[in-house]
């Protein structure tokens, strides 16, 4: 085919198909070239997966484990179990001695001795001075219970609760140590009222005021406005008391209200 004939054919095609059509026609007649398939980089896929994982983690953070949360509410922080038991059994011996129930006082004393032994294992060498004081006070308490000496047993048992409270400080208990001390001072009001020792009663009233002033802001911060107002009145009444009979009338209401203060933190 000569050149002139080729030109005529191409011109015809251009007029009929246009340039785009011609290009398509030519391409269909060309052999297909192999196409290289380039693998896509996996980073974009990783980003999608990572994003999905992040969403799941965030969802988990928004929905904490209910069981763990419940445990936090139930357990009293880091306070060793045996230490809590020492305070509880000490108070129980106090109550039984006050009631002249020496059978139950003896039973609770045995439990107290066992808790004190376990305490040495739990906290080991820490609080050595307090542990020595605790052991000595339990020995004295045992002698008072054996002799059925009501006032001595009450005093020694209450001292056990004081020592336990002092050891508890470093464990940052849920219920502030000051609230436990208010309980201790309430029992001191009972003890010194029975003996008619107004000097000790005045000292106890002063210590109660100082302790109350220290813990009062924490109770208000917890929403315990009603409890604060009520205990304000009790502390003022204790400070204003004149005779041992005045203190005696206030001791039980004070102890009852301390229980309500504890509830603010539980």
One DSSP character per residue, 200-216 reads HHHHHHHHHHHHHHHHH
DSSP character for 33?
P
Query: pLDDT at position 76, please?
Result: 52
The verdict on pTM exceeding 0.75 is no
Fold of 76-174: 1.20.120
Please check the confidence at residue 222 and state whether its pLDDT lies above 60. yes
Give the pLDDT band of residue 49 (cuts 50, 70, 90): very low
pLDDT tens-place string over residues 124-137: 766 788 999 999 99
Q: Which residue has the tokens 């508890």?
A: 168
Q: What torsion, rounded to 10 degrees, do the Cα atoms 253, 211, 73, 164 define?
A: -90
Average confidence (pLDDT) over 64-79: 45
Interhelix angle 244-264/198-221, rounded to 10 degrees, is 20
Q: Taking the alpha carbons of 56, 57, 60, 65 in that order, is the dihedral positive or negative?
A: positive
Quick check: 192 and 247 in contact, CB under 8 A? yes
What does the domain layout of the chain look like in residue ranges? 76-174, 177-266
The token duo for 86 is 């020492």
Please check the confidence at residue 63 and state whether its pLDDT lies above 60. no
Euclidean distance between CA atoms 111 and 93, whole angstroms: 10
Average confidence (pLDDT) over 222-231: 97
pLDDT tens-place string over residues 164-214: 999 999 898 999 999 999 999 999 999 999 999 999 999 999 999 999 999
Nearest to 183 by CA among 86, 264, 76, 256: 256
Please check the confidence at residue 55 and state whether its pLDDT lies above 50. no
Mean pLDDT, the chain, rounded, equals: 80
Quick check: 193 and 248 in contact, CB under 8 A? yes
Exposed e or buried b for every residue in 168-199, given b needs 16+ CB within 10 A? Answer: beeeebebbbbbbbbbbbbbbbbbbbeeeebe
């Amino acid at each position: 085919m000569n050149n002139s004939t080729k030109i005529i054919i191409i011109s015809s095609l251009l007029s009929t198909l246009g340039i785009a059509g011609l290009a398509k026609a030519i391409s269909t007649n060309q052999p297909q070239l192999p196409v290289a398939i380039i693998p896509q980089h996996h980073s974009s896929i990783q980003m999608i997966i990572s994003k999905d994982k992040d969403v799941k983690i965030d969802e988990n953070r928004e929905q904490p484990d209910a069981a763990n949360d419940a445990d936090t509410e139930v357990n009293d922080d880091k306070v060793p179990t045996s230490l809590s038991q020492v305070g509880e059994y000490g108070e129980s011996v106090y109550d039984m001695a006050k009631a002249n129930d020496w059978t139950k006082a003896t039973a609770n004393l045995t439990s107290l001795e066992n808790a004190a032994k376990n305490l040495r294992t739990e906290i080991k060498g820490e609080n050595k001075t307090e542990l020595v004081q605790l052991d000595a006070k339990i020995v004295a308490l045992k002698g008072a219970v054996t002799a059925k000496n009501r006032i001595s047993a009450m005093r020694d048992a209450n001292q056990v609760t004081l020592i336990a409270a002092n050891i508890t400080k470093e464990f940052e208990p849920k219920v502030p140590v000051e609230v436990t001390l208010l309980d201790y001072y309430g029992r001191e009001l009972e003890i010194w009222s029975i003996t008619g020792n107004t000097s000790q009663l005045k000292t106890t009233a002063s210590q109660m005021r100082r302790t109350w002033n220290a813990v009062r802001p924490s109770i208000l911060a917890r929403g315990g406005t009603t409890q604060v107002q009520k205990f304000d009145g009790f502390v003022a009444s204790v400070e204003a008391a004149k005779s041992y009979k005045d203190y005696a009338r206030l001791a039980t209401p004070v102890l009852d209200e301390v229980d309500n203060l504890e509830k603010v933190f539980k």
